[in-house]
Amino acid sequence: MTSNHTRLQRMLADACGLTLLAMLALSATSIVMRYGFGTGHVGTEESLVWMLVLLTCLGFPLVAGGPLAMRIELFRPREGSTFQLVRDVIAEAIVWAASLTLLLSGVKAAMQVGGTSPLLGIGEWLRPAALAVGGGLALVIRLMTLVSQKVSWRYLAVVFLLASIPALTVAFGKPISTLPPSAAAACLIGVAIIVAAPLPHAFILAGHVALIFGSPLVEPALALSLLGGIGRYLLLAIPFFLLAGGLLIVSGLADDLVRFAASLVGRRKAGLGQTVLLTSVMFSGISGSSIANAAFSAKTFQRPLVANGYLPERAAAIIAATAVLDNIIPPSIAFFILATATNLPVGPLLIGGLVAGLFLAAALAIAIRLASGNVAPPPVDPLPRRTLAFRALPVFGLALLVVLGIRFGIVTPTEAAGMAALYTLGAVLLAQRSLGRALEAFRQSATEAASIVMLIGAASPLAFLIAVDGVAASAAVLARSLGDNPYMVMLAASLLLLVVGLVLDIGAAILLFAPILLPVALAVGIDRVNFGVILVVNLMIGGLTPPVGILVQVVSAATHLPAVRLFYAVLPYLLALLLALLCLSVAAVALPKIF
């Protein structure tokens, strides 16, 4: 059973990687046809969106056990305790119930949806059918996983019973009107966070549980709403940028970037710590993912930092703190999620992220210098700086291509992401690196993208419920209750976002709170782009704060250091980021077009 379980997961990962490869090939063909010959196929964009849906549905069964399951460990119970057993059972039941939700709602939607795609000529029922297949495969994989772990039949029976309750209640029960549907969904998400269930599954199940409390989104509509959240052309940038970051490491360009950064700042006080910071700033121009940068930097810098006199926890804290910049300095996946959730313009957001990111980098540079003490500088690279700069030049060219291309409307964000992935793939081939490592980058990027995109899609029904239940109207009332002082509104929003960042992943927080807080900011005259940038900076700082601190958790896992020690060690850098956030927030209100 274990071999079959592993084989099925590998087959799905391969299918995801091949789908991403096909998406990249189609995107490349479209770019060449558009800019080289002034023509193109009218169905290209829709084809790419359908392929993104397929990628997400194929990758969903791998999410619960994957690197981006987004499980939030608020506390760690004693191993083998009754509390741990209860928590694990509830978390597993949420995974099963969410998978069952996709299966049932997808089947019902596929049976009711008619018509064909006008551009592709294929049946529209195929998209909800893919959702149902993803849910069904997820159930199979979870069952095989539990059997391979040799859990008792009682454990399986309790999980199955708990997972069946929402579906049975929706099918045979009467709606409960004592709680608004959005509040019921929020309670379910809260329970999922407490028991460390994967957030994508929690969001999916929350939309289904809301049906018990009178949600107008019946099961077929729930599936179609989720598909509507997934099927957005802008979201194609997420798997492409993740792929570009993975291929950057495989190609060896990331190592060239590190050596050049060391040649610039390595000889100064706390030079290796400053090298980590400068590498993060440069790496941000490609990956767009703080988690990717945290993992890369932990592998690259932890041992050299310790060898040069840094305490292990201080070295890991520097790595986690500097990784914050990747989701702020463009191309930032966080800004693409924000644009999707609020319809804000991507180009100005990315420019604002660049300004804010460089300011935060300056604050971190000061903190690293002050907190590092008398640490010896690293050994001098034998190659001259000019040679190292020349070797790192391809990375800078790519970063400029992405940022300037999007800002001046030369290419769309999705096209820029595709070009970045193509560029780094070419670098892998030119460097004659292992093709197997490149294929693994495709598989990993595809499955990570499936987790992120499914989370975005699952938030669409919740956004609808928030609108129906009048939460947005309540936010407007809150804005009026704070008066017309934009500084007070910005302070209140920042405090709320910092609290939210304590317990929620940045993607989930953006999807839930950006549509609520943005109207509040606009009501008092805060520029929408300024507020969007401050919102992302707020939530990214949450990557360093306990109890969740996803960036700290990633570095902790990579360095095998306890997260508690890292949370304490990261305090000087967290303070520097908070002070920088305060300055940026004041400037965002005082200077309407600062970003």
Average pLDDT value for residue range 103-124: 88
Average pLDDT value for residue range 79-91: 87
pLDDT in tens, 342-387: 888 888 888 899 899 999 999 998 998 888 766 656 566 666 767 7
Tally of domains within the chain: 2
pLDDT at 252: 74
Which amino acid, one-letter code, is at 136? G
- Could you list the residue range(s) of the whole structural domain that residue 152 is in? 2-22+49-231
Q: Which of 340, 323, 248 is nearest to 573 (CA)?
A: 323
Q: Which of 136, 135, 104 is nearest to 201 (CA)?
A: 135
pLDDT at 54: 95
Per the DSSP assignment, residues forming a β-bridge with 123 are 116
Joined together, the tokens standing for residue 296 give 């890369």
Sequential DSSP letters for 271-298:
HHHHHHHHHHHHHHHHH--HHHHHHHHH
Lowest mean pLDDT segment, chosen from 26-30, 122-126, 128-132, 543-547? 543-547
Residues 586 and 460 in one domain: yes
Residues 78 and 161 in one domain: yes
pLDDT in tens, 114-133: 888 887 888 899 999 999 99
Judge whether residue 519 has pLDDT over 70.
yes
How far is it, in rounded angstroms, from Cα 535 to Cα 584?
Answer: 11
Question: Mean pLDDT across the chain, nearest whole number?
Answer: 82
How far is it, in rounded angstroms, from Cα 123 to Cα 551?
Answer: 42
Q: Which of 181, 10, 196, 175 is nearest to 86 (CA)?
A: 196
pLDDT at 268: 63
- Percent of the chain beyond pLDDT 90? 25
Residues 163 and 292 in one domain: no
CA distances from 360 to 254, 285, 344, 577 (A): 22, 15, 23, 6
Question: Cβ-count burial of 264 within 10 angstroms (0-12 exposed, 13-18 middle, 19+ buried)?
Answer: middle
Residues 179 and 270 in one domain: no
Judge whether residue 473 has pLDDT over 80.
no
pLDDT confidence bin for 476, thresholds 50/70/90: low
Lowest mean pLDDT segment, chosen from 39-48, 177-186, 247-256, 460-469? 247-256
Residues 531 and 569 in one domain: yes
Average pLDDT value for residue range 284-305: 66
Asked if residue 41 is part of any domain, the answer here is no
Asked if residue 35 is part of any domain, the answer here is no
pLDDT confidence bin for 587, thresholds 50/70/90: very high
| 375 vs 317, residue with greater confidence | 317
Q: How far is CA 511 from the centre of its chain?
A: 11
Asked if residue 30 is part of any domain, the answer here is no
Judge whether residue 293 has pLDDT over 80.
no
Joined together, the tokens standing for residue 577 give 């980021």
Domain boundary among 231, 265, 294: 231
| 527 vs 78, residue with greater confidence | 527
User: How many other β-carbons are positioned within 10 Å of the β-carbon of residue 410?
Assistant: 12
Joined together, the tokens standing for residue 43 give 């169905």
DSSP, collapsed to helix, strand or coil, labels residue 123 as strand
DSSP, collapsed to helix, strand or coil, labels residue 575 as helix
How far is it, in rounded angstroms, from Cα 34 to Cα 418?
Answer: 14
Residues 180 and 295 in one domain: no
Judge whether residue 582 has pLDDT over 90.
yes
Asked if residue 27 is part of any domain, the answer here is no
Average pLDDT value for residue range 385-403: 71
Asked if residue 289 is part of any domain, the answer here is yes
How far is it, in rounded angstroms, from Cα 448 to Cα 333?
Answer: 12
Judge whether residue 521 has pLDDT over 80.
yes
Residues 268 and 290 in one domain: yes
Cα angle 420, 421, 426 (rounded to 5 degrees) comes to 100
Domain boundary among 178, 211, 231: 231
- Give first-to-last CA distance, the chain, whole Å: 55
Question: What crossing angle do the helices spanning 2-37 and 44-59 adopt, rounded to 10°?
Answer: 160
Backbone angles phi, psi at 116, to 5 degrees: -130, 160
Is residue 359 within 8 A of residue 329, CB to CB? The reply is no
| 494 vs 385, residue with greater confidence | 494
- 390: which residues sit within 8 A by CB, 6+ positions away? none
pLDDT in tens, 328-338: 888 777 888 89
Question: Cβ-count burial of 562 within 10 angstroms (0-12 exposed, 13-18 middle, 19+ buried)?
Answer: exposed
Residues 198 and 342 in one domain: no
Judge whether residue 157 has pLDDT over 80.
yes
Sequential DSSP letters for 14-25:
HHHHHHHHHHHH
Residues 90 and 194 in one domain: yes
- 392: which residues sit within 8 A by CB, 6+ positions away? 253, 256, 257, 259, 260, 282
pLDDT in tens, 180-200: 888 888 899 889 988 888 888
**H or E segment at 502?**
helix 486-503
Asked if residue 13 is part of any domain, the answer here is yes
Give the pTM: 0.81
Residues 154 and 244 in one domain: no
pLDDT confidence bin for 1, thresholds 50/70/90: very low
How far is it, in rounded angstroms, from Cα 445 to Cα 240?
Answer: 8
CA distances from 389 to 58, 256, 258, 282, 394 (A): 41, 8, 11, 12, 9
Asked if residue 37 is part of any domain, the answer here is no
Asked if residue 298 is part of any domain, the answer here is yes
Domain boundary among 196, 231, 266: 231
pLDDT confidence bin for 226, thresholds 50/70/90: very high
Residues 188 and 248 in one domain: no
pLDDT at 527: 92
Average pLDDT value for residue range 428-439: 73
DSSP, collapsed to helix, strand or coil, labels residue 115 as coil
Judge whether residue 578 has pLDDT over 90.
yes
Q: Could you give the maximum distance between any two Cα atoms of the chain, in Å?
A: 75
Judge whether residue 208 has pLDDT over 80.
yes
Is residue 191 within 8 A of residue 124, CB to CB? The reply is no
Judge whether residue 296 has pLDDT over 70.
no
Q: Is the dihedral of CA 15, 16, 18, 19 positive or negative?
A: positive
Residues 275 and 215 in one domain: no
Alpha helices in 196-236 (DSSP H): 199-212, 219-230
